[in-house]
Copies of this chain bind each other. A is one copy, B any other.
Amino acid sequence: MTDRFDPKFTKHVLDTIGPKATPRNHQVLGALMQHVHDFAREVELTPEEWLMGVNFVNSIGQASTPIRNEGHRVSDVIGLESLVDEIAHKLVTDGTVDPTSSSILGPFWSPDAPFRPIGDSIITDPAPGGKPTLMHGKVTDLVTGKGIPGAVVDIWQASANGKYDFQDPENQSPNNLRGKFRCDENGDYHFYCLKPTAYSLPTDGPVGVLLNLLDRHPMRPAHIHLMITAPKYRGCTTQIYPNDDPYLETDTVFAVKDDLVVDFKPKTGDPKAILDLEYNVILAPESYKGITPHSQSTIGLKSKL
């Protein structure tokens, strides 16, 4: 069918890229235009569909505010942020042990989360229906298998109502359900948090329109966010998910990976917790020579965006 169309059209568009475009801009934007054209020819995009697309793109920015990033959300529900995370962080090892998988950062991390002492709780406000959990584990070195003393575990999560402190100032004080913990001399940590709760992305904007066209639900499985760092190690930003969550297979932002699914077990004899979660983290040393992402060695996209 595509014989019907000018076979030189896309080449002509790409040939107009000027000599002062950086090599990376040329590569990235050229590939983007090639794929957009291939897409349009493949589905024989109609003028009406094109116009709907134009209106949809305009609606994304119009729905965004300083505290609502609809462009980020749209890229999430089409799987792009998770894919970019994999491209950037996937480390192929030559052994039988892999470092802990990364997952997307999401929009709710805070640089201001306080350090708390090992054993403390991040639950500073009431969370009706929440299930207090003792979370504990060890951060180890991929190569030696030994604990990493002083590794920092930064944790943040939504409350039992599915909202983060930012989104819920009436019920939550700043830094409720956030905290940084420094592992002991053996690389061990423990603290109290909540078993997390599934929640919906906001559906009153373009994301809702798109999910409706795709006949998809807007739910994220319940998750705890973690950012684990240590000097001379590759840090890991990730999320962990209870293994009994109904949305693991259909996470609307596609951020679940097998090794990030965890088991919350009943706990007795601890007045501060009804559940127990063991979660161990493996970090690769900075010097570790896996198969590193190609993109980290290429020229960065220079722009005025």
Contact = CB atoms under 8 A, between A and B. Distances in A.
A185 interface: no
Contacts of A250: 16
Given A36-B35, A254-B13, A74 B57 contact: yes
A168 interface: no
Size class of the A contact interface (CB-based, 8 Å): 35 or more
B36 A214 contact: no
A216 interface: yes
Interface string A21-40: 10001011101110111111
Contact of A69 (B35, B54, B254): B54
Interface in A55-105: 55-64, 69-72, 74-75, 78-88, 90, 92
A42 interface: yes
Contacts of A298: 44
Nearest to A33: B78
A57 B75 CA distance: 10
Contacts of A85: 47
A58 B27 CA distance: 22
Contacts of A52: 301, 303, 305
A18 B215 contact: yes
Given A4-B92, A54-B72, A215-B21, A31 B27 contact: no
A298 B304 CA distance: 41
A17 B79 CA distance: 12
A61 B50 contact: no
B40 A1 contact: no
B17 A215 contact: yes
Contacts of A303: 52, 209, 213
Nearest to A54: B71
A299 to B, nearest CB: 11
A17 B44 CA distance: 20
A70 B18 CA distance: 22
A37 B70 contact: no
A6 interface: yes
Contacts of A61: 57-64
A21 B214 contact: yes
Interface string A208-236: 01101111100000000000000000000
A293 interface: yes
Contact of A4 (B29, B53, B291): B291
13 contacts: A10-B79, A13-B78, A28-B45, A31-B43, A37-B83, A44-B293, A49-B301, A55-B71, A58-B69, A58-B70, A60-B61, A61-B64, A213-B304
